[in-house]
Structure 1
Amino acid sequence: MEVLPLLRPMLATSSKPYNSDGHLFEVKWDGYRCLSYLEGNTTVLYSRNGIDLTAKFPELARLHEKVNSAPAILDGEIVVFEEGKPSFAALQSRGRMKDLKTIGRTSLERPAVFVVFDVLYSGGENVMDLPLVNRKELLEEIVTGNEEIVISQFVKKDGLDFYSACVAQGLEGVMAKKLDSSYLPGRRSPYWQKFRHTREADLVICGYQQGSSGRGLGSLVLGGYRDGMLVYQGKVGTGFSEQEAGALLEGLRKLEVAEETLKVPREEKRRTIFVRPLLVCSVEYLTTTNEGFLRHPVYRGIRRDKTPEECPAVERQ
């Protein structure tokens, strides 16, 4: 029997939806990715970056009682549901809490659920080399589902119809996983692919932030018009190539202004270099945060055919 090692979860590549006899398809849960370590009388929850989340979600501290094959490592998502759907805003609110009394009270009012979709260790044995379809069967054998832990269900073959059904229900997307694939901890592999349901918006570039090194373009600060005023919509730091980032930065430096062109959150103000709000860019995004900011935006290009005044703010979704 092996000692349970500290691992990082397997990651997916992106893809357009498809059908496949060699894949299963399951919901892409909108939560915190988590590896749960179940040993003896303890449950420890680690984020994808190795952060211990156990104290943040005390309602999940007894998952070891619902699994009959400890020591075990399970892979899944911590999810908070509102009106029957995952709410990332509600989850983020939980994740920001530090006061133990507040955490305890909220764990009763808005309890989290561990949605489990894979098993890495069972009975102290490494099962990552088993084909995925066998690991799914093992999950059904070892997990007793209840209000704290549920097994993610899946379909085979019909990825397109399943994706359409998930989109219709307002879910984030779908995961496609190769039936005969092994589990590759810490690696991003095409064995797993994600179909993300995205939205589009055209927004005004109101400023920018430099990269983490203090050089180059880190992100664009975006705004949209509401009642004749620019309002903050978030920032986008992915989607542009190195060459395009250089060209954007060169153009934005010519538009720099001393005054704020829109009100940004306090933590963003110091890092933001404001520019005249003349350029419009197109972005894709998943949804909005509780504050109305874009979630997971991706830059898609400058819209030279649109004026800033034609860019309404995205409403909270």
Structure 2
Amino acid sequence: MHNQLPKHVKIVEVGPRDGLQNEKEAVSAAVKIELVDRLSRAGFTNIEAASFVSPKWVPQMATSAEVMAGIARRPGTLYSALTPNMQGFEAALAAQADEVVIFGSASEAFSQRNINCSIAESIARFEPVAKAAKDNGLRLRGSISCAFGCPYQGDVPLDAVADVVGRMRDLGCDEIDIADTIGVSTPRKTQAVMETAARAFALDRISGHFHDTYGQALANIYASLELGVTIFHSSVSGLGGCPYAKGATGNVATEDVVYMLNGLGIETGIALDIVVEAGAFISQHLGRKGASRAGNALLAKRTL
């Protein structure tokens, strides 16, 4: 374990995609564009902005091409899109995504329930997408859900995580996300999973994607920082959940993560006040209070 925490952390903002995709009410392309533009201005170097999946499955993401065409791209920021198959990849390429994201599960039960096939089969299906990404000079990211626990099978063995990390690595992924989809992990467990992943892939290209279902996300991020993990995903105002995982609340809120990292003296390059405003903007649009504790506290301070 490092006694020293990293000096710099990259935050991947996933609110516009992972966050909004679970909203029941349709959010217009104009609002999504405004949200992405506000996040770009805040200084994120990676924003998950779109998902080229069938609108039948995720209606909220049907405006992805429009969003990608309408955003003001900040030089130095990667705009990522989720691509489940070649059709999705072609759409992402046409939309000028900088990075495509493929995904698998560390839980066999989740894979079967979610996409009706085994983990090995699900990842093999991404071979043509991975090859096309490389052929077209796009960055390729692999995302591994349920790496810390599964709503159907409970515990997920460490060797299952190592196996999927190895498969993602072999597809040529530039970065691999280790995700706590249902938010059940606690710090020691988090370190065990991250250490396992780091045996199969470069630590500096592993990211932590924590949900806050049990209120453990910040503690899990801190536990990951202690091991030297330097990339984390978060969602402005804590937007999102998982449509296939019952009771899973949102991703950890970006405002909370940035507030903590600022306090630790870790550089993120992100302007917290602009993120807080972006969170207020989208929460107001959704007609509810934001889910970020730091965001709400900072907004309350402003109105005093």
Per the normalisation by structure 1, the TM-score is 0.27
Pair member with larger Rg: 1
Per the normalisation by structure 2, the TM-score is 0.28
